[in-house]
A and B are shown apart, each in its own frame.
Chain A
Amino acid sequence: MVTTSHYLILGSALFGIGVLGFLMKRNVIVLLMCVELMINGAGVSFVALCRQTGSLEGQVFVLFAMVIAAVEIAVGLSLILLIFRNRATLDVDKLEVLKW
């Protein structure tokens, strides 16, 4: 029997993988993918909790979250293009002009 808890664990696991990846990886595109993973982890838990509480607001929230994620990725990709054009690198450790 698959219960709401299972889905919540799945959602949290996705979210956790995203957080770990975000903190450990160095490529900007991979970082954006990790954020996407986190958002979708939240989406899974939304849908699961939605089924449990029986209200539809969570489902609507997931649709909006998907669009928001796409918008963030679109802006992110454009910035990545700018950065690649100016420096030919996508390593976050190279984003180091601004510090202290």
Chain B
Amino acid sequence: MQGYWLAIVLTFLIAALIPGLLIFLSTILGPKRLTPEKALPFECGMDPSGPARERFPIKFYLVAVLFLVFDVEVVFFYPWAVLYKKLAIFGLLEMMVFTLFVGLALLYAWKEGVLEWR
């Protein structure tokens, strides 16, 4: 049993060793000439401009807020799922009412245009 796992561990080790060795060798042996161009964040494309913490479109926030609320609402399904059989028809009805309201909320968000990626 142990030998079985040992083979896998050895494979991982060898797999990590080979690229590690290559990177190590190239940093030792390779030439290093630092030019101002290389010190830039990217070596291709346009020169960076402005601060890194730029403003970004509000739609990301809207989606994030929507996700936050709907994601947490789902937490209420969990106890129901655990006790599904015992709660029987009563639980089913309760959850249907709950789902109806969550669905109405989604419908509202939809009609308000939150889901559209403008």
Instruction: Tell me if chains A and B make direct contact, with any CB pair below 8 A.
Output: yes
Give me the interface of A with B, judged by CB distance under 8 Å: 60, 63, 66-67, 70-71, 73-74, 77-78, 81
How many residue pairs link A and B with beta carbons under 8 A? The number is: 27
Docked-complex contact A70 and B61, CB < 8 angstroms = no
Main secondary structure of the interface of A (DSSP, over half): helix
Chain B residues lying within 8 Å of A74, measured Cβ to Cβ, are 65, 68-69
Closest chain B CB from A40 CB (angstroms): 13
Docked-complex contact A63 and B65, CB < 8 angstroms = no
Docked-complex contact B61 and A77, CB < 8 angstroms = yes
Q: Is B75's beta carbon under 8 Å from chain A?
A: yes
Within 8 A of A (CB), among B45-99: 58, 61, 64-65, 68-69, 71-73, 75-76, 78-79
The 10 A-B residue pairs with the shortest CB-CB distance, nearest first, are: A70-B72, A74-B65, A74-B69, A67-B72, A74-B68, A77-B65, A70-B68, A63-B75, A81-B61, A70-B69
Chain B residues lying within 8 Å of A70, measured Cβ to Cβ, are 68-69, 71-72
